[in-house]
Amino acid sequence: LVGLGRYDEGLALLQEGITAYGATGADLASAGNLCVLAENYGYAGRVAEGVRLIAESLALVEMYEASVWRSEFHRVKGDLLLAQAGESQKAPQSLIGSLQAEAEACFLEAIAIARRQEAKILELRATMSVARLWQQQGKPHVAYTTLSPLYNWFTEGFDTGDLREAKALIEELSLGV
């Protein structure tokens, strides 16, 4: 529903589902759901709430070493920080630069975690996020040379959203190389 622009309804349903799932005693298992909720807060323009939720959830994930979600949490945190930087256009450039640097660090951490896990699709998602940042910073060549070999690693699944998005970004980046 969030993807359809029905933000309040979609977020309420996500929160309701997470609460019901948590009531079953599946505390840490709901970490992935919290990551999805935080990401959807960002889509709904409620970036500060998403950043708060991801910070709280990431602390829990790190404490319990729930590594399956660590890469995604760092990627989503980076995306939310960039959205926060976008909302802060009237803020001092140093604040915007600081948010971008923190986001980049999140993306690089997400990539490192995904590589250790050999989770190529998570590595691809985080690499796309950092590539977009580098593109905005006027570094399309770095973005292209980082993303393209990773995309070329895949031998199937080219009809999935992640790989379609990666291909489109690579094509866009190739124009600036």
- Binned at pLDDT 50, 70 and 90, residue 1 comes out as low
Residue 91 confidence (pLDDT): 72
Q: Three-class SS of residue 92?
A: coil
Q: How far apart are alpha carbons 171 and 65 in whole angstroms?
A: 37
Q: pLDDT (tens digit, 9 = 90+) per residue, 106-120?
A: 999 999 999 999 999
In the chain, what are the domain boundaries?
A: 1-118, 119-176
CA torsion sign for 1, 7, 25, 65 is: positive
**The pLDDT of residue 22:** 65
Q: What is the mean pLDDT of residues 79-92?
A: 82
* Residue pair 151/165 in contact by the 8 Å Cβ criterion: no
Predicted pLDDT at 28: 55
Q: Helix, strand, or coil here: 44?
A: coil
State pTM to two decimals. Answer: 0.80
Question: What sign results for the dihedral spanned by CA atoms 6, 81, 116, 123?
Answer: positive
